[in-house]
Structure 1
């Protein structure tokens, strides 16, 4: 039986190749995902570990238990604590660090590296005059307010050398610094493509904290002192608003955070890999069902000469094992290539990825082989078991071939129940998990029902096929002759198009909703912010308000305070100008009263706390001072603007460090490239500052969603490719089964062109049937998800992308045409006499 199974595998090489390809693509997707995520995770972990080189214990600010809800910023570490840390038993030295954002412009004025990884820090000379973290490659360390040092990679990319003037931005205004030194570093951000600028310690403290304050104190252990022992010594001198952590604990925590971040990406990619495998299971099961059907007489003969049911089933499983093993190995190799390609693709988009080798974990190899073998054997088990149960005499006479009415009724009943349950869950879903569960049940239910649905849908195509005459009629009849096979073939394409259509509908609707929200609530012509989303200096708003082309400006700044006993964010705005810059609908009051001790609140906050116009709020500001504010208006909030607004003149006296998140700008002449350029020049042509119109914001939203959709299309294309192979496989085997019939058609006058046309039209009908079902289900899921999305985005409305849905249907038709090329050619080349007499 083992030799028989191997002979059957090798006897049909083309069939073997298509089946292997179907499994291989699913395995390749899984292994590629695992290789990619393992590689990136390992690179980030190694990069983070380098950041703790030379550090044994780190001291960081920490709010004591019970102080979390107290207003005010997180306390910093002082010089006195730094000196004490360097003198504790077991300490060799202590280094004070302060850091933040620092955008470096190249000689052409463009931002160097990634904005989010453009950082600045202090060069801590210490007692020896050198900072061991940053050995100088050339020049010297910065020693004054107008000096800076750059990492070697940034200096090389920007074309700077010692003595040049470097344009740097920390919070908006451009600083022109003299480059005094170029250093080397193991900093993870730099190795990932970012930049690092160093200032002398007093300058860095002025830019990022307050004079004499540090973000972190790194303590190095003396020889023979363990990290745990040093930590115990350091903890004895710590105030209640600071904590000590060993470098190992920091590295472990960072590795855990990185692993958690990669888990999300890995899960997302594996979902799509699962989809490709899910589609592949249908094709493999369909393939083995047809293979077994074609060999029914052969298997019956084996039963007649003494083979048991188990041996027959085992022979089919052996065949599946061989196919799965080959597919597992080839899929693993292809997946390694996919993993490397994904990394190169992500790197090519400008994203920062640390350097590191390609990681092929043993678990990746194991999972790839298990997936390839187990999926194939599971898909082949049911057809093999079904074939083994057929009595030899019945198999010889083919009386088993026709599905009974009872079996179809049972199948349709089960499919109807599953579909109804799934639809009910989808329509009543209160979470994405419930929605996913319901969608999965609907897909399974519709798959079970597709034999029933295929007849009316394909019958509706009769008018389109009528111009093709007899070949069109034959194609339609062939498509519904075996509804189960047609259903299994079309379902593979249906699943892929359901997901593509559903995601397109949801993405388009969300895009319009956010666009409507962003542009509808703004009267301002421009929104000014840092590219890194870090705070802006208040000097930016002052320069813009003084510009002759500007009619009104308002900063958006925040301060965490205690309001009515709860920790809440107060949003500071220019009370006199905000009405000219924001278009918010008020249910009571207006912006007119926003000054002094008055505030306006959003409707959700109003309902939750039972506040209304005229209500008094007890507030404790971040400096600890108390005041009573009065609500002068209630507005309808949205995802872009909500919360408690207060005039900046009321808020500023209580803030220790004042900065802005954004600045809204209204110009006298409206938006134009000339006005935008003029505003940019007023801010020093700073590459770290974004000046965006409402259209720029909309385009940014569209670009982000389009990029996400394109990635999803690329991932789901794998499932569609697998579906194409399924159509090819089905048609090829259908031609093989109907060779006598085809020979007879040729004998009574149907030429080779007619045979080709018949097979192509049959493929076209099956593919378009799958496309129609997929697009229809995708629209249903997109519509059903609307109620769930509306809870988070109030402006969400269903948008049907008619053009794209038309393209999807055309693509499904193209799939049918391409899939039929080889089977049609094979059918046309059959010798009519050999085909007629074939047994």
Structure 2
């Protein structure tokens, strides 16, 4: 039986090729993901270890301590702490570290770096006049105000050298600094494409902290002193709200954080690899079902000469094992290439990855081989078992060819139960709010499986609906429709492969379009301001100098302006924050509905709060609220109004004159304003010019805010389209495979059709139309399920985004249907050509 199985594999090489390709693509996706994420993780971990080479013990403020007297950030470290650390037994030297946000402009006025890692720091010279963290490759270290040193990567990207001037923004206003030096660093943020600007310590403290304060103190151990011993000595001089950690612990923690981030990426990518493999299961099962059907008499003969059912099943599984092993080995090799290619692609986008070897772990090899073999064997098990059950005499007489009525009834009953149960779970999850993700996800999987089981039943009425169009193509169209419904199980498996991909693509498109509509409505409903000014960066919440609001307020074109100034506080005993605003201007800048009171009461110790906060504390108009400010001082506020909050406007709003005296560092996170003539491009240009055309500051109108949020969704959607393209490619292979094997199976029939007058063009048209109908059938099912899942997910999203509303992207859905048709046409090219080339006499004589 083993020899028979191996002979069958060699005899059907061409017919198994598409199955090998489908498994290979899935395995390549899995192995490529593992190689890529392991390589990136290893490179970043080694880079982070380098970054901590000069740190044996680090002292940092401890924000985890529960200090009821002070809800603000823990105090920075003082010069006294640094002096004490330098004198502890076993300390060979110390570095005082100051860090903050520093955006650099290139020579064209654009922002250097990727926006979320534009860092500034201090050059802290030791006894030898050098900072061991940074190696100067050009010029000297900064020593005075107005001087800066750049990392070599940023200098190269911006075409800067020592002696040049560069525009720098720390909290809004632009500073022009002289570049006095260029240095190299192992900082992971810089190697990943960010920027790092170094100032002398005194200047860095003025910019990012306060004179005499540090964000971190790094202590170097003397020879013969371990990190643990040094930490014990350092712990004795720690002030309140400060903590210490060894350099090894910091490196391990950062390595673990990197590993976790890579694990999340790996999981997401493996999900799409799983989808591709899931789609591949349909192809493999279809291929082996057709191969077994074509070899029915051969298998019956084996049974007649003594082979048992188990041996017949085993021979099919041996074939599947060989196919899976070959596909897995080729897929592993392709995956290693994909992993290397993805790393190069990442580097080409500007997101520089630290240098390091390509990592192919033994687990990657093992998982790839197991995935390829196991998926193929499991997919082939049912066809093999079905073949073994056929009695030899029945097989010889082809009595088995038509599925029994009882079998179809059982299949349709199971499918109906699964589909109904899955739909019920999805609907239940949609009504459960944030707790419905689990039931909805499980229900979606069950529903897809149920629809797949029901697909043979659904194929007849849906394909029959295409009859009026197919009649236009004469006999070829009629034959194509009959061929498509002749074997419903085969048609179902072929269409289902395409259905899965289109379900996901359609669902995500519906969700993205609906989110965009909700965000647009939120911006339009929540804001009256023409423009919102904020610092750049990934989240736009960098501190903004109060000078920005003052300068903009002096412009005659500005009719109303208010800073938004956040300050940590305890409100009613809960950790919260107060948002300081201009009480006279805020009513003209935001649009909220009040359930009690109004903005006119805002001022002094009177505040307005959102309804959720009020309900949580049972506050109402006139309630007195205890508050502990950022600096620890206590006070009482009075509720002057309760409003309905939204995603853009919520929380406790207070007069900024009340909260400012309690802030350790006065800074805004946004400035809202209105201008004469509204949100015109001329007004936007005027505001940007008044801010010095600063690339680090964003001036946005409502559309810009919506587009900025939507850009994230669009980027994610495009990435998901790219990842799901793998599943669609596998589905195309499935259509090609089914048609090619179907043409071989129907060789005699095609020969007869040719003999009675159907020309080559008619044969080609018949095969193409059959492929088109099957693909459109899968496309219609995918669109229907995708819209349903998009609606269900939207019900969950609407709890967090009240302005969310379902939007059906008819244009894109039509495009997806056209793409499904295109898939059918492309997939049929080779099988149709092959069918048309059949010699009619040889085909008629074929078994």
Indicate the SS of the match to 1:663: strand
- Report deviation, 1:623: 1.6
Indicate the SS of the match to 1:229: helix
Alignment of 1:128-527 (within 5 A): 128-351=128-351, 353-429=353-429, 430=432, 431-527=436-532
Moved more, 660-669 or 284-293: 660-669
The 1:464–1:311 alpha-carbon spacing in structure 2 relative to 1, beyond 3 Å, is: same
Indicate the SS of the match to 1:403: coil
**Aligned to 1:594, which of 587, 602, 616?**
602
Q: Which residue of 2 aligns with 1:583?
A: 591
Q: Deviations over 1:20-79 (max 9, x none)?
A: 111111111111211221122222212222221211111111146432784222111111
Indicate the SS of the match to 1:85: helix
Moved more, 51-60 or 517-526: 517-526
- Report deviation, 1:350: 4.1
1:617 and 2:622 are equivalent in the alignment: no
CA distance in 2, matches of 1:467, 1:442: 36
Alignment of 1:59-78 (within 5 A): 59-63=59-63, 65-67=65-67, 70-78=70-78
Indicate the SS of the match to 1:569: strand
Question: Is the contact between residue 61 and residue 76 of structure 1 (CA under 8 Å) also seen in structure 2?
Answer: yes
Give 5+ residue unaligned stretches, structure 1: none
Q: Deviations over 1:226-253 (max 9, x none)?
A: 1111111111111231111011110111
Indicate the SS of the match to 2:441: helix
- Report deviation, 1:310: 2.5
The 1:420–1:646 alpha-carbon spacing in structure 2 relative to 1, beyond 3 Å, is: same
1:757 and 2:765 are equivalent in the alignment: yes
Alignment of 1:619-698 (within 5 A): 619-698=627-706
- Report deviation, 1:349: 4.2
**Aligned to 1:730, which of 709, 727, 738?**
738
CA distance in 1, matches of 2:746, 2:356: 55
**Aligned to 2:747, which of 715, 725, 739?**
739
Alignment of 1:90-101 (within 5 A): 90-101=90-101
**Aligned to 1:775, which of 783, 807, 829?**
783
- Report deviation, 1:6: 2.0
Alpha-carbon RMSD across the aligned residues, in angstroms, is 1.6
Q: Which residue of 2 aligns with 1:700?
A: 708
Moved more, 617-626 or 247-256: 617-626
Indicate the SS of the match to 1:733: helix
Moved more, 677-686 or 575-584: 677-686
TM-score when scaled to structure 2?
Answer: 0.97
Q: Deviations over 1:453-473 (max 9, x none)?
A: 111111111111111222211
Alignment of 1:802-813 (within 5 A): 802-813=810-821
- Report deviation, 1:787: 1.7
Q: Which residue of 2 aligns with 1:51?
A: 51
- Report deviation, 1:347: 4.0
CA distance in 2, matches of 1:625, 1:678: 41
What is the number of equivalent residue pairs in this alignment? 839
Question: Is the contact between residue 48 and residue 186 of structure 2 (CA under 8 Å) also seen in structure 1?
Answer: no
CA distance in 2, matches of 1:249, 1:518: 45
Indicate the SS of the match to 2:197: strand
The 1:163–1:307 alpha-carbon spacing in structure 2 relative to 1, beyond 3 Å, is: same
The 1:486–1:586 alpha-carbon spacing in structure 2 relative to 1, beyond 3 Å, is: same
Alignment of 1:17-28 (within 5 A): 17-28=17-28
CA distance in 2, matches of 1:130, 1:226: 24
Indicate the SS of the match to 1:629: strand
Moved more, 337-346 or 604-613: 337-346
Question: Is the contact between residue 10 and residue 16 of structure 1 (CA under 8 Å) also seen in structure 2?
Answer: no
1:826 and 2:831 are equivalent in the alignment: no
Q: Which residue of 2 aligns with 1:714?
A: 722
CA distance in 2, matches of 1:800, 1:64: 47
Indicate the SS of the match to 2:716: helix
Give 5+ residue unaligned stretches, structure 2: none
Question: Is the contact between residue 529 and residue 590 of structure 2 (CA under 8 Å) also seen in structure 1?
Answer: yes
- Report deviation, 1:187: 1.7
Moved more, 246-255 or 606-615: 606-615
The 1:68–1:271 alpha-carbon spacing in structure 2 relative to 1, beyond 3 Å, is: farther
- Report deviation, 1:316: 1.3
- Report deviation, 1:204: 0.8
Question: Is the contact between residue 98 and residue 121 of structure 1 (CA under 8 Å) also seen in structure 2?
Answer: yes
- Report deviation, 1:353: 3.7
Indicate the SS of the match to 2:87: coil
Q: Deviations over 1:543-572 (max 9, x none)?
A: 111122211211112111111111111111
- Report deviation, 1:273: 0.8
Q: Deviations over 1:164-183 (max 9, x none)?
A: 22211111111122222222
Q: Deviations over 1:265-313 (max 9, x none)?
A: 1111111111111010111011111111111111112222232323222
CA distance in 1, matches of 2:356, 2:534: 34
Q: Deviations over 1:293-346 (max 9, x none)?
A: 111111112222232323222221121111111111221222223323333444
CA distance in 1, matches of 2:533, 2:94: 40
Q: Which residue of 2 aligns with 1:108?
A: 108
Q: Deviations over 1:628-651 (max 9, x none)?
A: 211111111111221101111111
CA distance in 1, matches of 2:504, 2:136: 54
Question: Is the contact between residue 70 and residue 631 of structure 2 (CA under 8 Å) also seen in structure 1?
Answer: no
CA distance in 1, matches of 2:394, 2:153: 77
Question: Is the contact between residue 515 and residue 701 of structure 1 (CA under 8 Å) also seen in structure 2?
Answer: no
- Report deviation, 1:506: 0.8
CA distance in 2, matches of 1:827, 1:107: 63
Question: Is the contact between residue 76 and residue 213 of structure 1 (CA under 8 Å) also seen in structure 2?
Answer: yes
Q: Deviations over 1:722-774 (max 9, x none)?
A: 11111111111111221222122222222222111111111111111111111
Question: Is the contact between residue 451 and residue 486 of structure 1 (CA under 8 Å) also seen in structure 2?
Answer: yes
TM-score when scaled to structure 1?
Answer: 0.98
Q: Deviations over 1:166-203 (max 9, x none)?
A: 21111111112222222222222222222111111111
Moved more, 65-74 or 779-788: 65-74
Moved more, 257-266 or 670-679: 670-679
CA distance in 1, matches of 2:221, 2:236: 16
Q: Deviations over 1:787-830 (max 9, x none)?
A: 21111111111100001111111111111111111111111222
**Aligned to 1:799, which of 794, 807, 821?**
807
CA distance in 2, matches of 1:232, 1:310: 69
CA distance in 2, matches of 1:524, 1:228: 56
CA distance in 1, matches of 2:80, 2:732: 71
Moved more, 124-133 or 361-370: 124-133
CA distance in 2, matches of 1:788, 1:23: 35
